[in-house]
Amino acid sequence: MFVGRKNELKSLNESYSTGAFQFPVIYGRRRVGKTTLINEFCKDKRTIYFAAIQSTEKENLKILSAQIIPVLAPNAPDNPFSSFSDAVDFIFDRAIKEHFVFVIDEYPYLAKSHTAVSSILQAAIDKYHENSKLFLILCGSSMSFMEKQVLGYKSPLYGRRTAQYKLQPFDYFESAKMLKGFSNEDKIALYSVTGGIPEYLSRIDRNLSVKENINNLFFSPAGRLFEEPENLLKQELKIPETYNAIIAAIASGRNKVNEISTKVGIETSQCSKMLLTLTELGLVRKEYPITEARSKKTIYHLDDWMFIFWYRFVLPELSRINAGLGKAACEEMFKGQFGSHIGFAFETCAIQYMWRAMKKNILPVSLRKIGRWWGNNQKERREEEIDIVAFSDNKAFFGECKWRNEKTGIDVLNDLERKAGLFTEFSDISYILFSKSPFTKSLSDIAGKRKDVILVDLNKIFRI
What span, in angstroms and rounded, lies between the C-alpha atoms of 311 and 243?
Answer: 13
What span, in angstroms and rounded, lies between the C-alpha atoms of 97 and 107?
Answer: 26
Same fold, 6-166 and 354-461: no
Give domain limits for the chain. Answer: 6-166, 208-336, 354-461
C-alpha 387 chain-centroid distance: 21
- Cα torsion through 438, 355, 197, 287, rounded to 10: -100
User: What's the pLDDT at 14?
Assistant: 97
User: What's the pLDDT at 95?
Assistant: 96
CB 435 within 8 A of CB 414: no
Predicted TM-score of the model (pTM): 0.92
Phi, psi dihedrals of residue 222, rounded to the nearest 5°: -90, 0
What span, in angstroms and rounded, lies between the C-alpha atoms of 295 and 307?
Answer: 26
DSSP at 76: S
Provide CATH code, domain 354-461: 3.40.1350.10
Q: Which long-range contacts (CB under 8 A, 24 or more apart) does 266-273 make?
A: 266/242, 271/246
Which element (helix H / strand E) includes 28? none
| CA end-to-end distance (rounded Å), the chain | 22
CATH class of the domain defined by 208-336: mainly alpha
Architecture category of domain 6-166 in CATH:
3-Layer(aba) Sandwich (3.40)
What span, in angstroms and rounded, lies between the C-alpha atoms of 354 and 390?
Answer: 9
β 101-105/395-402 pair status: unpaired
Q: Which long-range contacts (CB under 8 A, 24 or more apart) does 322-331 make?
A: 322/221, 326/215, 326/218, 326/219, 326/220, 326/221, 327/215, 327/219, 329/219, 330/211, 330/214, 330/215, 330/218, 330/219, 331/211
Phi, psi dihedrals of residue 376, rounded to the nearest 5°: -90, 140
User: What's the pLDDT at 296?
Assistant: 75
**Positions in the chain whose pLDDT score sits under 50:** none
User: What's the pLDDT at 380?
Assistant: 80
User: What's the pLDDT at 295?
Assistant: 65
What span, in angstroms and rounded, lies between the C-alpha atoms of 132 and 283?
Answer: 39
User: What's the pLDDT at 218?
Assistant: 98
Could you write out the DSSP letters of every residue in 124-169? HHHHHTTT---EEEEEES-HHHIIIIISSTTSTTTTT-SEEEE---
